Amino acid sequence: MRGVAPVLSAVCTALLVVTGCGTADAPEPDGEAASSPSSATPSATTTTSDLASPSAPADSGPVGGGEPSSSSSLEASAVPGARPAAELGLAGGWGPTQAELDRAARRARSLSLRELAGQVILARYDGTAPPSKLVRDLHLGGVVVFADNFVSTDQIKAANRALQRGVGRRWPVQIAVDQEGGIVQRIQGDATRFPTFMTAGAGDNAKVTEAAARAQGGELRHLGFTMDFAPVADVTSGRQDPTIGARSAGSYPGLVSRQVVAASAGFRKSGVAPVLKHFPGHGSVPADSHEELPVQRRTLAQLRRNDFVPFRNAVAQHASTVMTGHIDVRAIDPGVPSSLSRKVVTGTLRGELGFRGLVVTDALDMAAITDRYTSAQSAVRTLRAGADIVLMPPDPRAARDGIVAAVRGGQLSRTRVEQAAARQIALLDHNEEYGPGRPPGTSGRASFNLSQAAVTVVAGPCRGRLIGPSVLPVGDADAVAAFKAVAEQAGIGTAAGPTISFRGYGDPATTADIVVATDTPYVLGRSRGRVRVALYGATRGAMWALTDVLLGKSPAFGRLPVRVGGVARPGC
């Protein structure tokens, strides 16, 4: 059999991403000492026995399409002409060039085990100063910025720049943010505000959506961000969806697909990595994973017809990064959070959908995970499942030490961690080639265009002026303030006249002359008014789009991207 080993090795290398070869979790040398894994001592703070909780479900076991073992890696090294990236099972076609993948693989191999373990972690941090020491001490792959790290665009730009300079690394630090638009917008101040992603679904104009995402990504890049956890690729199930709502483009898989692909293209062209979330789909589960582990009871056939569709189409268009959600998908791996499930990540996302890029977990500090796993356990399980970035473990040091202990103890191969780190490094290198972005506050036209395409009149005249010289705005305070500022410039009085009631996120139904929904449009079905409008945002651009329709200067182009009971029509 020795005579055919090189041939089998070459085949294994070629098929590694799709089928997997060798033992799923064979141990690797730890890279820090000459001792073998069996003689290495686990971290003092995390023992290998800590990595398996009696209350947690067992690992799903190997499923085709994932982690190369140490033996398959060594065999690949013997193949004449084999490249470093190929040895790690890294295929191209999702962003980075072959040269970037090869360089990233070499860089990952050069890291000590502790450095390698830190490189796959993105952590949250406290305060507004650059977290340079945290990143250096743990050799973190990067950090995630939240509203409490933000004071102003000048401050965050300086902090992000100082972090990149203060780490002293040959590749960039990953600096990520949740900047979807609507109610999920961590960076505010003078940054351009964008409406909810459901706006894109209502407008259904791929060019406008791409331009808006490119503008939004450009502002983030100017501020030093490398990754945005957007767009949301979930297909919302409607009013019963407690978590995603207007963060989704809509409830029709084809519609959502078009907007997700367009938004992803826009972000990529800005040089900021888009992260499609939350595979296998969070829009059709009845609970919020921030608070508990949601259970997905749809059949596999139903998931393939609905929830998987935007992800599948985006993967076909070379999506670079996908986030996995914390969902108990009964049809695939009962009882195991999908972000920690090898059957979901490796078997379905990578195997069935053919995804080759970077897989990010949803935040591991959410109750769906912390109620069942420690930071060390969840970090190791996500890597075993096939994910590449361990996102926001509650204790990043414990997560790092858990990965180290798992490699030394043989529960996780070093090759799998190298593969994960190399994917992230390659994408960072690739996106470094893009320009400096655009200053904050320069994307108002793109935000307006997105809203203008989406304004949806579901009751009332479809043409002509809908109001007189003055109206009385009431309801959601932020929306009222935004409308008044624009109305004054547009020559509309706001002290008296027919009432225009703005209904924001979570607001109840109402009765008014004109009812405007600035988040999901479901409230319009239970409200009463001569005119009812779905606006999907309360930004300055959205208010300009609304006033143009009210004054008869522009038609209402949009159509409802979700089913709303109690409305007579989906749009004009």
In the chain, the largest separation of any two C-alpha atoms, in whole Å, equals 90
Residues pairing with 500 in the sheet: 473, 514
CB 96 within 8 A of CB 107: no
Say how many Å lie between the first and final Cα of the chain, rounded: 71
Among the options 362, 429, 476, 513, which is catalytic?
362
Task: Tell me the C-alpha distance between 389 and 227, whole Å.
Answer: 12
Residue type, 431: N
Active site residue 362: yes
Task: Tell me the C-alpha distance between 125 and 396, whole Å.
Answer: 10
For the CA atoms of 194, 266, 561, 338, what is the dihedral angle to 10 degrees?
-100
Burial of 207 (0-12, 13-18, 19+ CB in 10 A): exposed
- Tokens (6 digits) for 85: 């990236």
Task: Tell me the C-alpha distance between 540 and 195, whole Å.
Answer: 9
Instruction: Please list, in sequence order, all residues whose beta carbon lies within 8 angstroms of the beta carbon of residue 171, skipping any fewer than 6 positions away.
Output: 104, 107, 425, 428, 429
Burial of 57 (0-12, 13-18, 19+ CB in 10 A): middle
Instruction: Please list, in sequence order, all residues whose beta carbon lies within 8 angstroms of the beta carbon of residue 339, skipping any fewer than 6 positions away.
Output: 324, 325, 326, 345, 361, 362, 364, 369, 382, 385, 387
Q: Cα–Cα distances in Å, from 525 out to 79, 441, 480? A: 65, 35, 21
- Active site residue ranges: 362
